[in-house]
Structure 1
Amino acid sequence: MNVFQESCCSTLAVLLLFLLQGSRADPEPDVHVHKAVGDSLDLTAHYSKEGLEVKWRYNEIDLAEYDKDQIKRVNPPLFHGRLKMFKDNISITIEALELQDSGRFSIVVVKQSDQLPTKVFVLHVHDLIRDVQIELNDSWLESKNTCVFHLRCLASGDPDPSYSWTGDLVRTGYLVKTGDLVKTGQNQNISLHPTESATVSCTANNTVSAKHTDKTVECREKSEDSKVSPPGFDLKYVLIAVGVGVVAVVILGGSLAVFCRMRKRTGQGQDASEGGITVYEDVNTEGLPKKRSESVINGMSIYETVDDLKVTKTMPQTLYDTITFQRHPPVSASTSSPYQQVL
């Protein structure tokens, strides 16, 4: 009897546990949603309104709720200015998505005291790919008589896009391969023989956008005395640098020459002014003493008149005056001529 009672109790316990587990709503599988920056995310509860209670959660934080035909925000700082609520279709919309909005959104629904399966949306926000460029470096392998092109694809926007390559091979002007070089990855190497060329295309893509660009490379045989430029080397930059250097040297040399010439002239002017009046000095007599000898500090110049230094009025007036202080009396009977011959 006791054994039968124990068996019945065990059976009832199992049935009760089964019923309790069956009353719980099994969670639905997560739905991954990919959106671009600036897009909107709609979270709608597709149920009738009668006896319905809904909660929207973001990373396990209550965001909004619907109860008794009313929908309201629970955490206003979340998505401030970007959260729209619609009670007619029991939904919320997050506008102008940003990269940091990526996360886990859930819709918890209770209808007439029964909890319905929770819907989970995993949001992935991606930046748009804005531009794609191909960087190129080349080298010449003389032992194999081939050109090696090192290609690198760079995309702006999404920091981690996927890359794919396609290309066509051309030999001496004729298309010999189409769709060759179908590869993936950011970096690619291409080997070509002389007279061969290839047009390659790199495509950068993510789940919300894609962009591509093309580039043509051509192999030319190089002479033995030519040197292979190191990766990233460009001759035009060297020429520009040399030109700038020459211009700088010319400007510096001209500036030094002008400076030295001006300095030399300044020194000569100072020497002349310190030496006093020159032999060609202009004499401004206005406001100066009447006599030239009184106005000249260093003495009379060689062009000075004799009048300033004559002793008496009976002395010669000029340098060319006849120096005769007393004239001979007139010739008479008692006097002889100054030119008379004395016998």
Structure 2
Amino acid sequence: MSGGPLSCFSKQGILLLSILHYGVGISLFNKAVGDSVELPSGLEREDFKSMEWKYKKMVIAEFDGNVSLPRSQFEGRLEMNDSNFSLIIRELTLKDSGEFLVSAASNRGQSPTKTIHLQVHEPVSKVAIQKEIKLLANQSCSVWLLCNVSVCSNLSYTWERGNETYRDDQQIHFSLSPADGDISVTCTASNSVSEKSASATVKCSNTTPEYNTWMKWYRIYIVVALGVAVVLILTVAVAVYYCRGRCNTADLTDDTRGKDTRSNSQVMSIYETLEDLAVPILNKPQTLYDKITFGRQPEDPSSSYQEVL
């Protein structure tokens, strides 16, 4: 089985890591969504004439003779104790996580700023074990187990198999033989504010089929996603090719129409020219003078010589 035996990793160890991470003098509070928290200021009213709480560099509560609560994301959920200046926040949300700074001034001067870190967690509400068992050629079984949890962040997992306890990742893998019989496995998922457990029984037999479990469905999802991607790519390619073809056809049609228009214009021009040339043919000159002044209306001859001509 993957993973090693569970070491002495307790809440004291988590607290030590928190101190190393945030530093000495910084208080750490872990709360669940929907909880309330009271952040202590460490001050006494008679010793200080003014003080303030800050969250992300913004004043959210202050005292200068009277308690004042400026508008903030905690509006309607915030309260400050006017005797010891502790800060009470109700109905916590994940967005309330962060550092709170408290500072005060007395007759002796400014007091050191105190830092309090609040971490709000989503509680673990559901745990389930999904399994895949494959029968191998040597008649043993390969077992894959996945601890499926409703929360995905800041979790630790503990696996128990028989009399052994292991700390591992979200999934584990081990081998079984038919001689091992029924094996009980328990997964416990936990964070700083809650924990849940789930159990399952696994068995290896000569007739063990490949289970239709999360691993198989995962492969199916991958294949389906790839198929959809290929279909989309082909559809886009065909659409682009079709549009280009339509555009080219439209261009050829416009060119053909343009040529026809120019041809018709040329024919009409030639026809009109011939028609214009045909007019003088119908009005042939009658006299020598008409040859010079074409188009003159014929007059009655004034002399026999002109008449002869």
Query: Displacement of 1:219 after TM fit?
Result: 0.9
Bigger Cα Rg = 1
The answer (yes or no) to whether the contact 2:141–2:204 under 8 Å persists in 1 is yes
Q: Residue 100 of structure 1 aligns with which residue?
A: 95
Deviation of 1:159 after TM superposition, in Å, equals 3.8
Residues 54 and 100 of structure 2 are in contact (CA less than 8 Å); yes or no, is this contact kept in structure 1?
Answer: yes
**What is the CA–CA distance in structure 2 between the aligned matches of 1:41 and 1:227, rounded to whole Å?**
52
1:195 touches 1:218 (CA, 8 Å); kept in 2?
no
Report SS of the residue matched to 2:95: helix
The one-letter amino acid paired with 1:155 is V
Equivalent in the alignment of 2:27: 31
Aligned: 1:62 with 2:56:
no
Deviation at 1:215, TM superposition (A): 0.6
Indicate the percent of aligned positions where both proteins have the same amino acid: 31
Q: Does 1:165 align with 2:168?
A: no
| 2:81 matches 1:86 | yes
Superposed displacement of residue 113, structure 1 = 4.7
Corresponding residue for 1:186?
Answer: 170
Cross-structure match for 1:151? 145
The aligned residue for residue 47 of structure 1 is 43
TM-score by length of 2: 0.57
Aligned match of 1:198:
183
TM (norm. structure 1) is 0.52
- 2:142 corresponds to which letter in structure 1? V
Q: How does 1:206-217 map to 2 (within 5 A)?
A: 206-217=191-202
Contact 2:41–2:85 (Cα < 8 Å) also in 1 = yes
**Alpha carbons of structure 1 residues 46 and 36: separation in structure 2 relative to 1, 3 Å:** same
Question: Counterpart of 1:96 in 2: which secondary structure?
Answer: coil
Counterpart contact for 1:163–1:204, Cα < 8 Å: yes
CA RMSD of aligned residues (A): 2.3
What is the Cα deviation at residue 98 of structure 1?
Answer: 0.1
Deviations 1:68-91, CA, capped at 9 Å, x for gaps: 2x1111x21331110112213322
Whether contact under 8 Å (2:53, 2:102) holds in the other structure is yes
Q: Which residues in structure 2 correspond to 1:1-343 (within 5 Å)?
A: 29-50=25-46, 51-68=48-65, 70-73=66-69, 75-143=70-138, 145-168=139-162, 178-179=163-164, 182-196=166-180, 197-222=182-207, 228=210, 232=214
Tell me, in whole angstroms, the C-alpha distance in 1 between the residues paired with 2:209 and 2:26.
60
**Given the superposition, is the C-alpha separation of residues 49 and 187 from structure 1 closer, same or farther in structure 2, using an over 3 Å criterion?**
same
Conserved? CA contact 1:98–1:125, under 8 Å? yes
Given that 2:31 and 2:118 are in contact with CA atoms closer than 8 Å, whether structure 1 keeps it comes out as yes
Distance 1:227 1:43, change over 3 A: closer
Q: Distance in 2 between matches of 1:227 and 1:218?
A: 11
Encode CA deviations 1:46-82: one digit per residue, 9 max, x unaligned. 33323431110001111111122x1111x21331110
* Distance in 1 between residues matched to 2:85 and 2:213, nearest whole Å: 61
Unaligned 5+ residue runs, structure 1? 1-26, 169-177, 235-343
CA distance in 2, matches of 1:190, 1:80: 52
1:201 maps to a residue whose letter is T
Contact 2:44 2:83 in 1 (8 A): no
Instruction: For residue 104 of structure 1, report the CA deviation from its aligned partner.
Output: 0.9
Paired positions, count: 192
Structure 2 unaligned residues grouped into runs of 5+: 1-22, 218-309
Q: Which has the higher helix share?
A: 2
Distance 2:169 2:42 in 1: 42
Structure showing greater relative contact order (alpha-carbon pairs closer than 8 Å, 6 or more residues apart)? 2
Is the partner of 1:153 in helix, strand or coil?
A: strand
User: Would you say the 8 A contact 2:145–2:171 is kept in 1?
Assistant: yes
Q: Which segment drifts farther, 126-135 or 108-117? A: 108-117
Show the counterpart of 1:296: none
Report how far residue 105 of structure 1 moved.
0.4
Once the 2 structures are TM-superposed, how far is the Cα of residue 160 of structure 1 from its aligned partner? 4.2
Partners of 2:192 and 2:211 lie apart in 1 by 39
The CA distance in 1 between the partners of 2:193 and 2:210, in whole Å, is 42
Question: Could you tell me how far apart the structure 2 residues matched to 1:92 and 1:54 are?
Answer: 12
How far 1:195 sits from its partner (Å)? Answer: 2.8
